[in-house]
Amino acid sequence: MAADNRTTGAKGDSPIFSAAQHLAKKIGTVPHGTSRRKFMLAAAGGSLGLAALGPGAARGSAGAAGQGTAEVVIPQRKVPVLAEADVVVCGGGTAGISAACCAARHGAKVVLLERWPSVGGMATNALVNIWHTSDRTKQVICGFVQEAIDRGGPFVRRWGDFPKRPETHDFDSQGMRVVFHKMLKGFGVRTFCNLKAVESIVEGDRIRGVVVDAKTGRKAVLGRIVIDATGDGDVAANAGLPFDLGRPSDGRVQGMTMMFCLRDVDTAAVGHAPPETARKVVQHMRTLRDEGKFPPFNESAAMSYLRSGRNNVPYNMCPAAGNPLDEEELTRLSFEARQAVYAYLDLWRREMPGFARAQVDKMGFSIGVRESRRVRGLKTLEAQMVVKAVKQPDAIGHGFWMIDIHDPKGSGHTTWSDQKAEMMPPVGDSYHIPLGMCLNRKIPNLAVVGRCASSTHEAHASVRLQSHCMVMGQGVGTCAALALDAAVDLAQVDIRKLQTVLRADGVYLKDVPG
Ligand SMILES: Cc1cc2nc3c(=O)[nH]c(=O)nc-3n(C[C@H](O)[C@H](O)[C@H](O)COP(=O)(O)OP(=O)(O)OC[C@H]3O[C@@H](n4cnc5c(N)ncnc54)[C@H](O)[C@@H]3O)c2cc1C
């Protein structure tokens, strides 16, 4: 199980990282491309690395993300330039879409690169479809998030109890694929799907762009500013920025989840079932699981889904734990999770009234990944900043979600289900998301937005929400356009001016310290 293959790199200076740094040092003056490729190979097992080394190397990785014993030297070669822009955004999840649209809105020429066939990241491709905009008394995330809600039209639904809970909207992941793409098009963003950024082109202390893997071979995409919105911090790590991975105690990242939707559940029959039926079914699942005959599951979620018997709603109850940067492990976990979904359904068909004819309607195109690299920034968001609703001078928006940790060992337990007051900001209050968590000390024209921005494991469990990631995207995308206009680096943009522009664009930004 995952216990044996767990993430071994707890920190940027972890064994994996040190090995990579050592390797990079050893390679020394070999041109950037080569040393960085090897760096990535050791740090995260890039696709090139595994392909070049062959299956033996992957088998020998011992859980250290594709870290093999054999090596090959890949000769330096020229690659054609596919595109050039002011701003290159790598990763088309909610953070990247927001960054790209907001940079383009303010006049930047923007290219967005996405490895999957459609944009949206976890929101579309992993069926994660709930947005949170409220501090439980009022909406405090607006701006680009509100634009996405408005543009989503029939695909987005505001909840009846808005704004009493943090969760305020859900959406149809299929429809939002199209909506997001239309938004990018509308803002004039040149969007490439099916292209993976595999290497960062760094000269001195500046990033010039990335090398992408295209059907027709390796190509370069160049930009004056690069924004890493890959969720995993691929571009930043490849450019040599330090990062943290997992919780300090054992290096494990938050659990993942395979989301799935059902159809043909007879909801009326579920409603007529005696109240204790669902409890008995869950008890049976628990017994079988404890005997090792059934996969893990999130107990409270399973109970709630069995009691409501809803069709075409993503079920968030199928946990997996491991290292999302290890392709082989991720493949195994995704496969096991897909099997687990069918195991749940098998049992429910037999034991739960209303489920006899239920079918799996869809599963995530990808397993849902909550956490991987957290790239160290000028500032690091910490748990106390979240729960004490700390305000920051370089605020680009607000966040309020609780410290919501899904068990890194894959039991399915979440701190959300405990609902402890000390794990969340006070009702009616929110913390500031600082620009500094997206900028770094080493490469001034490279920013990181979304779930890979700088935070501790605990604070990440709050700021990873899509609405919060879109706040970062809007702040950094807008900052990039202002930096280009003023011919300064991102960190030198007049923060007051940025905040004024953000407010004019609808961002809720209050109580900024003077
Ligand atoms: C099961 C689950 C349930 C969740 N529940 C909620 C919830 O209810 N509400 C909520 O708001 N949040 C929830 N979250 C968290 C949230 O979905 C994510 O943290 C958020 O989507 C992160 O957004 P992102 O844009 O930073 O990254 P992602 O959504 O991961 O997007 C990153 C994008 O970059 C692309 N990419 C990666 N590497 C490369 C590369 N090298 N080159 C090019 N493209 C690349 C990926 O394909 C992807 O499209 C949940 C997460 C999970 C997994």
Q: Is the peptide bond between 434 and the residue preceding it cis, with omega within 30 degrees of 0?
A: no
β-sheet with 130-132: strand ranges across: 130-132, 167-171, 156-158
Per residue in 6-37, pLDDT tens? Answer: 232 333 223 232 333 333 333 222 223 333 33
DSSP letter at 115 equals S
**Could you give the CA distance from residue 474 to residue 143 in angstroms, rounded to a whole number?**
8
Residues with CB under 6 Å of ligand 1 are 90-96, 113-116, 121-123, 126, 128, 130-132, 196-197, 229-232, 234, 257, 259, 316, 368-370, 450-451, 464-467, 469
Compute the distance from residue 325 Cα to the ligand 1 centre, in Å: 14
- Gap from CA of 270 to ligand 1 centroid (Å): 33
Atom 14 of ligand 1, residue of closest alpha carbon: 465
Which atom of ligand 1 is nearest to 212's Cα?
Answer: 42
Quick one: which atom of ligand 1 is closest to the CA of 195?
43
- Cα separation, 429 vs 469, whole angstroms: 19
Q: Could you tell me which residues are beta bridge partners of residue 131?
A: 169
Q: How confident is the model at residue 65 (pLDDT cuts 50, 70, 90)?
A: low
Identify which of 135, 131, 125 has the alpha carbon closest to the alpha carbon of residue 145. Answer: 131
**Right CATH number for 83-195+371-504 from 3.50.50, 1.20.120, 3.30.1360, 3.30.1340?**
3.50.50
Query: To test ligand 1's pocket by mutation, which of 466, 467, 474 has the most ligand atoms within 8 angstroms of CB?
Result: 466
Q: How far is the CA of 133 from the centre of ligand 1 (A)?
A: 17
Residue 305 CB coordination number (10 Å) = 24
**Residue type at 468?**
H
Tell me the CA distances in angstroms from 10 to 6, 168, 384, one per residue in order: 10, 34, 21
Q: Quick check: 452 and 370 in contact, CB under 8 A?
A: no
Rounded to 5 degrees, what are φ and ψ at 283? -60, -40
Amino acid sitting at position 24: A
The residue whose C-alpha atom lies closest to atom 35 belonging to ligand 1 is 91
Distance from residue 121's CA to the centre of ligand 1 (Å): 5
CA end-to-end distance (rounded Å), the chain: 51
What local confidence, expressed as pLDDT, does residue 66 receive?
55
Closest CA to ligand 1's atom 8: 130
pLDDT of residue 12: 29
Best residue among 36, 119, 122, 415 to mutate for probing ligand 1, ranked by most atoms within 8 Å of CB: 122
pLDDT digits (tens, 9 = 90+) for 316-371: 999 999 999 999 999 999 999 999 999 999 999 999 999 999 999 999 999 999 99
Kindly state the tokens that stand for 452: 């890979």
3-state class percentages of the chain: helix first, strand second, coil last, to nearest 5: 40, 20, 40
514 CA distance to ligand 1 centroid (A)? 34
**What is the pLDDT averaged over residues 136-151?**
98
Can you give the residue ranges of every domain in the chain?
Answer: 8-76, 83-195+371-504, 256-363
| Rounded distance from Cα 423 to ligand 1 centre (Å) | 22
For residues 474 and 505, is the Cβ–Cβ distance under 8 A? yes
- Residue 28, sorted as left (phi over 0), alpha (psi -120 to 50) or beta, turns out to be left
In sequence order, which residues have a C-beta less than 8 Å from that of residue 7 and are 6 or more positions away? 63, 65, 245, 246, 251, 252, 253, 322, 323, 325
Tokens 């493949």 map to which residue? Answer: 331
The per-residue b/e assignment along 149-169, b for 16 or more CB within 10 angstroms, e otherwise, is beebeebbeeeeeebeebbbb
- Cα angle at 94 between 92 and 96, to 5 degrees? 45
Residue bearing the CA closest to ligand 1, atom 20: 466
3 state SS for 306-320: HHHCCCCCCECCCEE
The residues facing 225 across adjacent strands are: 87
Closest by CA to 157, choosing from 170, 146, 148, 142, is: 170
- Please give the average per-residue pLDDT across 156-178, as a whole number: 98
User: How confident is the model over 185-197, as pLDDT tens digits?
Assistant: 999 999 999 999 9
Point out the ligand 1 atom lying closest to the alpha carbon of residue 196. Answer: 42
**What does the DSSP assignment read for 326-365?**
-HHHHHHHHHHHHHHHHHHHHHHHHHSTT-TT-EEEEE-S
Q: What is the pLDDT of residue 404?
A: 97
Residue 460 CA to ligand 1 center (angstroms) comes to: 13
Query: Which of ligand 1's atoms lies nearest the C-alpha of 464?
Result: 19
The pLDDT, as a whole number, for residue 481 is 99
Task: Find the helix or strand (DSSP H, E) in which 79 lies.
Answer: none
Give mean pLDDT, residues 194-202.
Answer: 98
Stretch 424-445: mean pLDDT: 98
Structure tokens at 212: 């992408």
From residue 433, give the alpha-carbon distance in Å to each of 313, 475, 479.
Answer: 31, 9, 14
Residue to substitute in 127, 230, 253 for testing ligand 1 pocket (most ligand atoms within 8 angstroms of CB):
230
User: Does 275 score more than 90 pLDDT?
Assistant: no
> What are 70-105's pLDDT values in tens digits?
999 989 999 999 999 999 999 999 999 999 999 999
Predicted pLDDT of residue 23 = 32
- In sequence order, the 6+-apart residues with CB closer than 8 A to the CB of 219 are 79, 80, 81, 82, 211, 212
**Can you tell me the distance from the alpha carbon of 75 to that of 10, in angstroms, rounded to the nearest whole number?**
32
Taking only the tens place, the pLDDT of each residue in 214-267 is 999 999 999 999 999 999 999 999 999 999 999 999 999 999 999 999 999 999
**Which two structure tokens, joined as six digits, stand for 338?**
């897909």
Place of tokens 């987005």: 156
Nearest CA to ligand 1 atom 38: 230
How many residues belong to the chain?
Answer: 514
* Residue closest by Cα to atom 15 of ligand 1: 465
Q: Residue 177 pLDDT more than 80?
A: yes
**Cα(93) to centroid of ligand 1, in Å?**
6
Quick one: which of 453, 430, 437, 371 has its CA closest to 404? 371
Mean pLDDT of the chain: 89
Atom number of ligand 1 nearest to Cα 473: 25
Strands 373-375 and 243-245: antiparallel
| pLDDT score recorded for residue 69 | 81
The CA distance from 159 to 162, in Å, is 6
User: Could you give the 3-state DSSP secondary structure of residue 50?
Assistant: helix
Nearest ligand 1 atom, CA 97 = 25
